[in-house]
Structure formats: C-alpha cells, structure tokens
Structure 1
C-alpha cells in the first residue's frame, strides 16, 4: 500500500478508490437486506434509500482523499491516496447536491407517499404534498429571511441564493448533529461498560421486560380495535359504502378475520376503544382507516420483534451466568434463521465458557475505555478549535508530516481520519435509534415499514454533511486548502454570523454530554414527563427497590420471561384462523411480512384456563402447559394496566394527532385514576369506631347489645338496661 500511495501517477489511487466504493456499496446493500426484504420491496424505496446510505458513506472516503490531495508540494511521499483537484470537485458537487435533494425533497415526499392510505398513485402524491406543505412553508420562510440577511451583509446577489440555501441547511443539520453526537459519545462507552457485568445485564433485561410486554400487548389491542372497525364496515352493503366495496374488501383481506364470517364483530376481542363508524363513508375516511391499519400492523411487528429479541438476550445471558458452576456453556441447536457463524462454531463447551464468561467482558471493558478516551478527545477538540486550534488532539493524530512548514496527511493519517469520522457518525446515528419518535418509527429486522425506512434514511443524509465539515474544522488551517472548503466552507463563512456559528455552536456539545452523563433525562422524565420517553439516556432510573421508573420491578420481568419460556404464553398464542399477519393486502399495497405467529385473542375474564389464582401478570403460575387458545395472556403489573383501556374513549382521529394540552390532560387523568385510596381515608368513610366500654365494634359477640351490633343506639345500655337483652346485667338492673 505504501508503493501505491507513493506512485506519482493517480491511477493506483483511482483503482483503490473504486475498490473502496465497491465495498461501501456491498455494505449498504447488506444493511438494506438486514432491514428490508429485497425481493418484495419496490424500487422507489430501494433506490433512494440505497443512495441515502451510500452517499454519506462515500464522504468518509472523500474527506481523507481531499486532505491528501490538497497538499500542493512536490513531495509525493508525504501523500497518501490522492486524486486530481478537478475529479475531487466534481465528486463533491455530485455527492453534496444529491444528498441535499434526498434530504429536503425526495425522501420526505416518498415517505408520506408510502404512508398515505389512498389507493391510486395520484391520490397518494397529492396527500403527500399536502402533508409536506407545512414543512416546506417553514423551510422556504427560513430561506427567505436568510437570503435577506446575506444580501444585506454580502452586498451581492450572484452567490447569495446558493450560499443561503447551503448555509441554512448546514446550520440546521449541525444543530441536530451536535446534539445527537453528544448523546452517543457517552451512550456507546457506557453501554459497553454495563454489558461487561453479566448479572447486571440480566437484571436490566428483566427490568425492561414488563414495559416491552405491555407495549406489545397494547399494539395487539390497537390492531384488534381497527380490525373490529373493519368488520363492522364490511357489514354495510348499501348506502355510501356500496361505492367502495372493492376498497373495503381489500381492508378485510388485510385483517385476520375468519373467512367464513368476515363481518362478524365477535370474531375478535378488542379493548372496546374502537371509533364508531360515520354515517357517510367517504374516500378520506377509508384512506385514514387504511393508514391506521397499516401502521398498527407494523407497530405490532415492531414490538413482537423487540420482545423476541429481549427473550433471546435473556436466554443467552442466563446461560452464560449459569455456566459459572459447571464451567461449560452449551450452544444448543441453532434456529433455521440463524446466520453462518451461529450454525458453525469451533468452540468446545469449555472454551465457549472461557470466551463468553471471562474474555468478552474484558474485551468490552477495554473497548469502552478506548471509546471513552476517543469521546473525550472529540469533545475537547470541539471546545478548543475556535480559540486554540493548535491544542486539538484530533489534529495531531491525523497530520503526521510537515513539508515546507505545511501540514501534510499521509496514508496512516487518512486511515485515522476515516476512523474518527466513522465513530462520530456512529455516535449520532445510534442516538437516532434511541429517540422515541412519533408515529412509532423503528427499524425492524426484515420488516421495517416503508415510511420508517424513508425517515431514517433522510436522517442519515441530513447528518452526513454537517458531521463531515465539522470534522475538517478540527484540523486547523489545513482544511482551508481543501476542495470541500472551497465548495462549502467559504459559503458558510460568507457572513460573520455564519463564521461565529460554525466555531462557537459546537461548544454546546457539553449540554447533551452532561445531560446523558448525569442522567438528566431520567430526572426530567420523573418531574414533568409523566412516564413519556423522549430520549433514552441509558439510565434505568432504578429506585431502592430495584424497580424501573414507570415499569414493573425486575422480579416481575423475571417471572414474565420465565412464563414465556416455559410455554405459558406460547400455549395461548394460537394463530387466529390459521393465518399470520403477513397475509396479502390488495391493491398492490405493501403489507408487513412476519415470521412470528399471530398472537391469540384474549378473553375478558380475570381467571385463567386452569382456574387457579391469578398472579400480578394475570395468569395462574400452573397454567403454563395446559392453557388453551382462549386463555388470557400474562399481564404486566403496570399503572396503565390497572386503569383499563375500556374506560377511555378514543377520538375519531389518531392518538398521535392530539395537541399538547389534550395529551397533558389525559396523562393527569390517568395518573389520578391509578392512585390507590389511602387506608386512613377509607377509615373516614366507614365512620369512627366506638370504644369497647361504649359497646362498639370491638366487643361484637361478647355480651354487647344486639341493637348496638345492628347499628342502633340505646342510652340504657350505659346503665345495664335492656337495650341488648343478654349479658351479666339483667333487665332493669343498674350497674355502677
């Protein structure tokens, strides 16, 4: 590789660059294959999402090449992989403007297009444009204000429009990138440190189990409510519904209603929160119902996948912990869907125990220590790059040569620069997956919803350019000679406001770093969040009893996992009608494809099939192997479960569309409804008990008067009178 880099001709560098781009393409395809079924995914989804991943990854290759190529000296040995400046300029233009178009136009429109419930492409496109109208109004409004400022500051209009567009896009992306990267720089090393403790990792899995199970159960109930609504809709044969019979039949095909009587409302059991059907069925109503049904199916797929992954992690962690006694760790039989490395292994049970129980924790601790040091270096470089650029640690790790009093980047410096950029991008992108975004967006293995795929791809494209340019500012004055600075940097620094923003705003990375490091998110969530997760800072917020805030304790999670693994939930999970949720939807509409069996419907009773006593999870401990399809599933003991879903009416619109005040009122009401009445308050309602010498409740059955026991009051009993009939004192006798 040294000979290739030292060649005076750029041909070896071109060959290396093409080979690197091919490897990046293969990695991007593997990522798409992991989250999407390539054969059944339409091309309008695969092509833009592929480029949204491929273009940012190619920037990791372009930046080191640009740094080495900008060294305008005759010492070729000081360069690494280099290209001529014209090739670099064309590459940067194509990469930047394609990324810009994907971020601000193509991916948002296609995302809403795939999420629309209309049947025809024209209706989907118009619905997508209406949904993005407010978004584009904000973008163009900000652009107009920025253009006025640039014209006043710069004095020319020739470059004002382009510079305004590029500078505003960079500033918005930098705000998001700095916040997400600051969170990830703490979250990644801390997660490695925590996972090194096997028992602590198992405890955290058990703590998360009730919350994950409740979300999965809620997703199933929401889907059942919509299926009930479709069942009621299919019973309408006349009126306005007769104009949409084909559409209604497609909705019925998307559900798992019994084929013999698809319109029977008793076929499924929902939560009782399904919205009433309108008197007049319109196209807009059917489009909204279709969109909600597709979202509910994907939500159920998401939480089923999350629950199965949690069970798998719990089984593996428990096996590693139990192997400490026998010094052997059996791998067991691999599943048919397992990968190559899971099906084939060279470890014996003893070497597998040594690897997982002793070696892996130390490797995790070592990697966490290295990444922690890297995080400190990145934060330090962000703080000093504006005033003291010579103190940047990243600068000295990348620039190794000084030729003619000018810093040069060799091949080793290029590799180190690529590693720094990969870690910064990974910290920001991992934080995106931890954000609890609206509309239930999530990445699900082989079953990611189309709208979720477009949204995550747009975030990757949006963060790539700000992170790339932000890294180059760590290197001091050398980055001003690059092609990328000539293309983007001078437009950002066109006005004093843009220059100061570029240098001073990254210092605010201390805010997300400190918030994540000291668990500020969990504290704010306890005070004002009402149990709503915004950003997972990795802190379980455990109290002195070991219970996570807003969920059940780790003991409840342990029991819930044991029931699931012992067959209780597996026995009561029967496929409804013998079909799974991946049954085809009509009209070319994509439907989620699941390899997970359809969950059975739950009865509304409070007893189990075995008739035994109920546990806090809602099922008998002995009902695991005998429960039939009509048994109830174990319920997590959470506050939301005690409230009961049937007590609150769901509005006609989506729950996600409620405003802040409605959501705040609902959370306050749910919090008040779940409060248990104190014992002292219950005693006040029962009245004040009389003492024994007054014949109160304390001496019932011991000579007290019957009238007193029946709630009467007779003053003669104070003197032994005939108020009660029996006792030591007879009728008419006075006792002193």
Structure 2
C-alpha cells in the first residue's frame, strides 16, 4: 500500500503544481495559491484514494466493514472539499474581488456578498420545500431524505454532463489538433475572436484610467477621500511603470463616471473597476499572444516539413538563432523529427487510446444494472490481477 502512496502522492502534487504554474498570474497572493492548490489536490485525490480503496475492498474478507485509514482519508477529502466549496473559496474570492482599502472592509464586503447569495438561494429552496409540503408531495419527516436526494441528483447530473463532454471532446480535440490544416483554421478563428475581446478590454481599461485621472484631478488635496484617491493614483503609476508601452486610447467619460468621489464605498467601486479592467485586459492579451505564437510556430513547422529535402531534415526556427556545431546540428534534427513527424503521430495515438477508454467507460456504465454481466474493461483488468496489490492499484 505504501509503495502506491509513494508513487501516486508525488504524481498528484506534481500535477497540482504544474497546473498552478500554468494558470496563476504573477501577482496572485500566496494564500490564494495555497487555497487553490489544496482545492485542486482534494479534487485529484481520487487518483490516490480510488485505487487504494479498491485494493482494500478486494483484500478484506467478505462482510468486513472495517477498512482502516482509507475511510479517514475519504472523510478528510470530502469535508475539505465541502468547506472549501461553500465557505473558504467564496470568502477568499469575494475578499480578493473587493475594492475596499482595508482588510476589515474587504472581508466585510465578501461576507455580505456571500450571505446575500446564500440568502437568495436558501429562500428559493425554502419556498420550493414549503410548496412541496403544502401540496402533500413530501412529508415533514422526509425533508432530510429529500435534501440528500436533491444533493445526490445534482452531483450525478453535473458529473454526467462533465463526463459526457470530456469523453467525447478530449479524444476529438486531440485528433483534430494532430492535423495541421485544421489546427491552423482553429487558431485563426481563435485569434480573430480574441482580437475583438482584447480591443474591447483595451477600451474598457482606457475608460477606467480616464475616469480615475479625471476624479483625481477634480479632488482637492484636503478632501477627506484624498488618501483613498492616492492609493488609486499609485495603482496607475505602478501600472504605467510595469507596462510603459500601454497607451490609453479612446477613453471617454460616461454620464455617471464623475460620481465616484462621494464616499468611501464609491472610491472602492472605482478601485475595483480599475483593477478588474486591468486584469481582464492583460488576461486577454496573454491569451491572444499565446494563440499568435502557436500559430506562428505551427506555420514554422509546416515550412520546415515542406523544405525537409533542402534543409537536410533539420529544423530551422524563425524565433531563435541558428545552432552551431555538431551538437547543434543533432539538436536541429531531433527537433525536426519531434515537431514535424513524431508529435502529430503521438497525438493521434493518444486520441485513439482516449477514445478507447471513453468507449470502455460508456460500455461499463450501460451494463451496470444487469446482474451477472461484467463488460467493464477496468473490472476485468482488476479481477484478473486481484491477488497482486501493485497491479490492482
């Protein structure tokens, strides 16, 4: 059992860290990174718990209810996910989204927003429950069971939708991405779509900057709200220092854009709007540049493949200096073989494997209810090696 934990635990942690590194922005606080990382780890903990649980069930004698520490791990994963979903993550999300100037005010804003959301949802649920009781659809003693059934139904339906999307979309996208012509068309469409979003985000950020500058200019130095305005001015200064090439263009004042200097809450709203506009602009800019670079690299790969006879099967990149020496020539050949030949074949092979796994899962789910019929590929594999712990896991 411990051998499997020593393998699966570092693997799961590595997946979480790689995902965090890929998605996290440069200014994300550490406590947010830790919370998101632990949340993803709880979600991916099934990679560790399910194989261990299967082996525990197989190795124990029949009618053995004691399953040792695996139940503790399942409980830890469940309650951690429960608390993170309904309390911790929404609270941190609201705290980070708030534009208030003190920690206390940001926390208060987050709590207020979450309580309002839960109050609305709870009121709707309570109204539906009272309606069902008055219509004699359920009895008061069955409320707990009804709530559990609704919770399970929501989880099953949501899981079915997500699973159905993943079972078909992931193999299909892997197969399509292996075709260069199709991938070029997809990237062209994404670049055009992202260019529109980037232009809108640039306009929104320009408007936010113009509003902030106009509000600062009309506010006197003795104004009680001036300290809050100084914080926003520092944000603008830091923004232009980090990106000196950004130029606000087309910024204009709206009808109510000069009403931010009325109280502390309005200043917090201005700060929040400026920060969200900035984050949205740089997020779209990053996505746009990612798609553009991928399209250029794909075009580079196609050109290298077409000119393979004249270049001697060496990859000549347009984005880096040419390599020199014998090792450089060898690396160019290896890069050509990987990018122009092997990668697309591996993508097709991966698509076939994932498609086969999807078909096996669908077949197993379709034959789950009939007794005496076991068409689950995973069940057959587990039963064939059920005496070997490592192979089962």
- Shorter-normalised TM range: 0.7 to 0.9
Q: How does 1:423-572 map to 2 (within 5 A)?
A: none
**1:330 match: secondary structure:** coil
Over residues 92-119 of structure 1, what are the superposed CA-to-partner deviations in whole Å (9 max), with x where a residue is unaligned? 1111111111011111111111101111
2:16 matched to 1:34?
no
Q: How does 1:698-713 map to 2 (within 5 A)?
A: none
**1:85 match: secondary structure:** coil
Decide whether the 8 Å contact of 1:205 with 1:310 is kept in 2: yes
2:312 matched to 1:330?
no
- Pairwise CA distance, 1:280: 5.6
Task: State the alpha-carbon separation in 1 of the partners of residues 380 and 282 from structure 2.
Answer: 45
Task: State the alpha-carbon separation in 2 of the partners of residues 351 and 395 from structure 1.
Answer: 37
Match of 1:386 in 2: 369
Decide whether the 8 Å contact of 2:316 with 2:332 is kept in 1: yes
2:341 matched to 1:358?
yes
Match of 1:46 in 2: 33
**2:259 match: secondary structure:** coil
Task: State the alpha-carbon separation in 2 of the partners of residues 279 and 53 from structure 1.
Answer: 38
Match of 2:157 in 1: 175
Decide whether the 8 Å contact of 2:210 with 2:253 is kept in 1: no
Decide whether the 8 Å contact of 2:225 with 2:261 is kept in 1: no
Match of 1:246 in 2: 227
Decide whether the 8 Å contact of 2:211 with 2:253 is kept in 1: no
**2:9 match: secondary structure:** helix
2:216 matched to 1:234?
yes
2:383 matched to 1:400?
yes
- Pairwise CA distance, 1:128: 1.3
Task: State the alpha-carbon separation in 1 of the partners of residues 195 and 118 from structure 2.
Answer: 39
Higher mean alpha-carbon deviation, 303-312 vs 278-287, is at 278-287
Decide whether the 8 Å contact of 1:400 with 1:413 is kept in 2: no
Distance 1:165 1:294, change over 3 A: farther
2:249 matched to 1:269?
yes
Match of 2:267 in 1: 286
Over residues 300-357 of structure 1, what are the superposed CA-to-partner deviations in whole Å (9 max), with x where a residue is unaligned? 111111111112111111111111332132246659xxxxxxxx98954344333322
Task: State the alpha-carbon separation in 2 of the partners of residues 279 and 66 from structure 1.
Answer: 57
Match of 1:63 in 2: 50
Distance 1:233 1:401, change over 3 A: same
Task: State the alpha-carbon separation in 2 of the partners of residues 312 and 258 from structure 1.
Answer: 25
**1:386 match: secondary structure:** coil
Q: How does 1:106-121 map to 2 (within 5 A)?
A: 106-121=88-103
- Equivalent residue for 1:25, pick from 3, 13, 37: 13
Match of 2:357 in 1: 374
**2:68 match: secondary structure:** helix
Gaps of 5+ in 2: 241-246, 309-313, 322-326
Match of 1:446 in 2: none
Distance 1:136 1:61, change over 3 A: same
Over residues 240-285 of structure 1, what are the superposed CA-to-partner deviations in whole Å (9 max), with x where a residue is unaligned? x9121111111122225999xxxxxxx8432436453128622222
Distance 1:385 1:244, change over 3 A: same
Higher helix share goes to which structure? 2
Match of 1:96 in 2: 78
- Pairwise CA distance, 1:142: 7.1
Which has the larger Rg?
Answer: 1
Task: State the alpha-carbon separation in 2 of the partners of residues 346 and 24 from structure 1.
Answer: 37
**1:243 match: secondary structure:** coil
Over residues 681-713 of structure 1, what are the superposed CA-to-partner deviations in whole Å (9 max), with x where a residue is unaligned? xxxxxxxxxxxxxxxxxxxxxxxxxxxxxxxxx
Decide whether the 8 Å contact of 1:222 with 1:270 is kept in 2: no
Task: State the alpha-carbon separation in 2 of the partners of residues 169 and 323 from structure 1.
Answer: 55
Match of 2:311 in 1: none
Task: State the alpha-carbon separation in 2 of the partners of residues 225 and 365 from structure 1.
Answer: 47
Distance 1:248 1:346, change over 3 A: farther
**1:33 match: secondary structure:** helix
- Pairwise CA distance, 1:227: 0.2
Task: State the alpha-carbon separation in 2 of the partners of residues 334 and 125 from structure 1.
Answer: 48
2:187 matched to 1:193?
no
